[in-house]
Amino acid sequence: MIIDNEIKLDFKDVLIRPKRSNISSRSQVDLEREFKFKHGSSIIWKGVPIMISNMDTTGTFEMAEAVYKHKLFTCIHKHYLVFDWKKFYKGTLDKDIFNYIAISCGSKEEDIHKIRIIMNEIPDIKFICVDVANGYSEYFTSVIIKLRLEFPDKVIIAGNVVTREMTEELLIKGADIVKVGIGPGSVCTTRKQTGVGYPQLSAIIECADAAHGLNGHIIADGGCTNPGDFAKAFGGGADFVMSGGIFAGHDESGGELIEINGKKYKEFYGMSSKTAMDKHSGGVANYRSSEGKRVLLTYKGSVNDTILDILGGIRSSCSYVGAPFLKNLSKCTTFIRVSQQLNEVYGKS
Ligand code: 5GP
């Protein structure tokens, strides 16, 4: 047994120090980034590098259409059928949206077989998100190797991991972008059920450093509770930031709309929750426990206002530290460790 005594940080442990800046208005800040990828090298991506989680309560086609207007990216959840994808493709006149969506799968052969069929029907799909709760198994790496051979021109997203050595391993074996985060999610109970995890800001800083040395990219996945957390994730070196909870509860989100005593709520649950397993896998298998929970969120209407709020917050962060482009935010960031973030004398909102 080994104890690592180095302090690891979460978003709540730091603030970003303001710096002199020659940006006179946050409207001058450009949040778009352009990326070339390590393996899927002919693809150049330009947009706002915020991703919607591939959960069936957030990564919907309706969400993709709404966030595409702001050039955000959606990882479409894996439970759509071939038929649903064909219908979406047929009904979408502006095929540029395929630069802003990924098809998702797990590591099981049946999942991969399904994306093979869908991608055969829709060659416009350029991004594949291979998502498992634990990206550390040798089997998972072998799946990434196989997918890279089968889809040499696509951008492969793989995860989740939280440490530098596994980030490097996945990039070397064929991933372009590594998804980083174990346990920080708003409806995740992995840390409670297993005791496993890694403070998210440190995971981002360490995995970004490992990835960038190999011309790879990372997604900071999970744990953002407000626009400031997105800014901290980018400041820590994340190329993309993914969120579920912030995009849940809207018209475009999945999950049932429920009315209780005249007030509207939307259902949101983890993809390893009992609710999700009952829905998609015929219940929780005897050998495992659920690692996610279900919550009811106050219904928030259209996702548009939420997007503007996040983008406005990040633009402001950039202007506080003198970063005219999102690309500069990381090098303009100095984190200070704090013991208190917010004044909550009038509540938490
Ligand atoms: P959030 O942005 O809501 O804090 O976190 C979203 C992320 O939580 C997702 O992108 C995914 O990585 C993770 N996640 C989603 N469902 C579950 C679950 O049931 N269990 C765990 N451990 N993580 C989940």
Instruction: Look at ligand 1, atom 23, and give the residue with the nearest C-alpha.
Output: 188
32 CA to centre of ligand 1 in angstroms? 25
Torsion 46-47-48-53 (CA) sign:
negative
Give the pLDDT score at 285. 87
Residue 243 Cβ contacting ligand 1 at under 6 Å: yes
19 CA to centre of ligand 1 in angstroms? 34
Q: DSSP code of 182?
A: S
Mention every residue, 6+ apart, whose C-beta is less than 8 A from residue 55: 77, 244, 248, 254, 270, 271
**Catalytically annotated residue among 75, 105, 129, 188:** 188
Residues in a beta bridge with 75 = 102
Q: For 271-290, what is each residue's pLDDT tens digit?
A: 999 999 999 988 888 888 89
**Catalytically annotated residue among 60, 74, 190, 306:** 190
- Using N-to-C axis directions, what is the helix angle for 61-68 and 304-321, rounded to 10°? 50
Residue 98 CB coordination number (10 Å)? 19
Task: Give the pair of three-digit tokens for residue 207.
Answer: 């995995």
3-state secondary structure of 341: coil
Give the pLDDT score at 284. 86
Regions of the chain where pLDDT drops below 50: none
221 CA to centre of ligand 1 in angstroms? 8
Q: Which of 111, 107, 114 is nearest to 138 (CA)?
A: 107
Task: Give the pair of three-digit tokens for residue 295.
Answer: 């919550």
Cβ–Cβ under 8 Å, residues 272 and 241: no
Q: Which of 13, 58, 11, 45 is nearest to 306 (CA)?
A: 58
Q: Which of 154, 150, 144 is nearest to 174 (CA)?
A: 144
Dihedrals phi, psi of 231, to nearest 5 degrees: -60, -40
Which residue among 53, 134, 294 has the greatest number of ligand 1 atoms within 8 angstroms of its CB, and so is best to mutate?
Answer: 53
Residue 245 Cβ contacting ligand 1 at under 6 Å: yes
Residue 135 Cβ contacting ligand 1 at under 6 Å: no
Dihedrals phi, psi of 144, to nearest 5 degrees: -65, -40
Atom of ligand 1 nearest to the CA of 225: 4
Residues in a beta bridge with 166 = none
Residue 290 Cβ contacting ligand 1 at under 6 Å: no
Q: Which of 95, 33, 57, 118 is nearest to 324 (CA)?
A: 33
Tell me the longest C-alpha to C-alpha distance in the chain. Answer: 60
Dihedrals phi, psi of 94, to nearest 5 degrees: -85, 95
Cβ–Cβ under 8 Å, residues 229 and 243: no
Give the pLDDT score at 259. 97
Atom of ligand 1 nearest to the CA of 179: 12
Confirm whether 225 is a catalytic residue: no
Mention every residue, 6+ apart, whose C-beta is less than 8 A from residue 149: 174
Q: What is the signed CA dihedral for 60, 65, 66, 67, rounded to 10 degrees?
A: 90
Q: For 158-216, what is each residue's pLDDT tens digit?
A: 999 999 999 999 999 999 999 999 999 999 999 999 999 999 999 999 999 999 999 99
Residue 199 Cβ contacting ligand 1 at under 6 Å: no
Instruction: Look at ligand 1, atom 15, and give the residue with the nearest C-alpha.
Output: 270
* 0.85 exceeded by pTM: yes
Give the pLDDT score at 348. 77
Confirm whether 189 is a catalytic residue: no
